Structure 1
C-alpha cells in the first residue's frame, strides 16, 4: 500500500475518533458525503483543495495524514555572537517555541549598560554555569547555577553576566506569549 492509499483510512480514523458521521464531517467541510466517502475509501484522488477543508474541521494538518519521512532530528544552525553574547539556537527557526543556549560574556566595567528590552512573548531561563544578572523593570535579580526564572517579555528586561566569568543559560522563548505546559508522563 503506497502513501496515498493509506491517506483514506487515516482520514476515516480521524473522523471516527471524533465520533462524527460521514454526513457530519462532509457538511462541516462543505463537500458532499459521497466525495468524502470516496476520499476515505481511496476511490477519489486526494487533492489539497479537498483535504484542506476536511483537515481544518478535524483540527489536524494534511501532514498528519501522511507518513512523515524520517528526518534528521539534529538542529543545524550557526551560533551568533553580538552585544557580548554568543547565541546558539537549539530549535529550528520555524518552531513556535524557540530554545537557545546563550553565553553572556563579562562586560568591561566601562561598558555602557544595554537598554532594557520589551517585546511580545514569554521567556524561561535556566542557568547552566556562572551567574546571571537579570533586570526586570526596576527590580534586579542575580541567578546562580541551577536557578531558573520565568517572565513576560512585555516587562522591560535585560540580562548580562554577573562578575568576571561567563554565564551560560538555556533560554526558552515563546513568541506568542503563551506559557509552555509540560506534562509528566
Structure 2
C-alpha cells in the first residue's frame, strides 16, 4: 500500500491552521519544498520529512499513525444509492452518511395510487424536485397542482405539504432538500 505523503502533510498542516509559508518558516525549508511535497512532485527523504515535521512539531511515528478521514465519494453508480424507504414510495438517497452535509438528493418512485398520507408533512429547510415520469399532485400550504414530466416544485419545507400520484402510471422524480431532513 502506497502512502500519500503529500496529501497527508497537507491535511496535517491544514488541521493545524498553518499556511505553507508558515510551515516552511518553522521547519527552516523553502516554501517551494512544502509545495512540491504536498503536490507529490517530490518524494522527500526521511531526513527531509523529519525536518518538515519538526516544524509542526510532530514525530514520524505520529505522522504515519495519524488516521485521516477518507475523502468523500463524489460519484455513485445506480446500484450504490441507499434505499431509505420502501413500499409504495421508494426513496433512494445519493450518498450514505450525510453527517456534515448540507444537501440531500433523492430518486423517488411512487407506485400508482401512492401518497404521503392525509396528514401533511412539515420539517425545517427547503425542498425541490423535477418530475421525470408520471403525474404527481403536490399540495403546499393548501394549494395543489398536478405536475408532469419536466415540471418542478420548490418550497420552504415548514409549510404543510403532501404528494399524491395521479393516474395509473408510476411517478418518478429527482428531489433535493436542504438541510438533509428526510
Q: Which residue of 2 aligns with 1:38?
A: 54
Q: 1:16 aligns with which of 19, 34, 41?
A: 19
Alignment check: 8 A CA contact 1:105 1:165 kept: yes
Runs of 5+ consecutive residues of structure 1 not aligned to the other structure: 26-34, 53-61, 178-185
Alignment check: 8 A CA contact 1:132 1:160 kept: yes
**Cα distance in structure 2, aligned partners of 1:16 and 1:112:** 51
Q: Which residue of 2 aligns with 1:81?
A: 86
| Shift in alpha-carbon separation, 1:162–1:63, aligned structure 2, 3 A | same
TM-score, normalised relative to structure 2: 0.59
| Shift in alpha-carbon separation, 1:175–1:165, aligned structure 2, 3 A | same
- Give the superposition deviation at 1:77: 2.9
RMSD, aligned CA: 4.5
Q: 1:102 aligns with which of 108, 122, 125?
A: 108
- Give the superposition deviation at 1:163: 2.5
Alignment check: 8 A CA contact 1:130 1:145 kept: yes
Q: Which residue of 2 aligns with 1:92?
A: 95
TM-score, normalised relative to structure 1: 0.58
SS for the counterpart of 1:142 is strand
Q: Which residue of 2 aligns with 1:181?
A: none
The answer as to 2:171 corresponding to 1:170 is: no
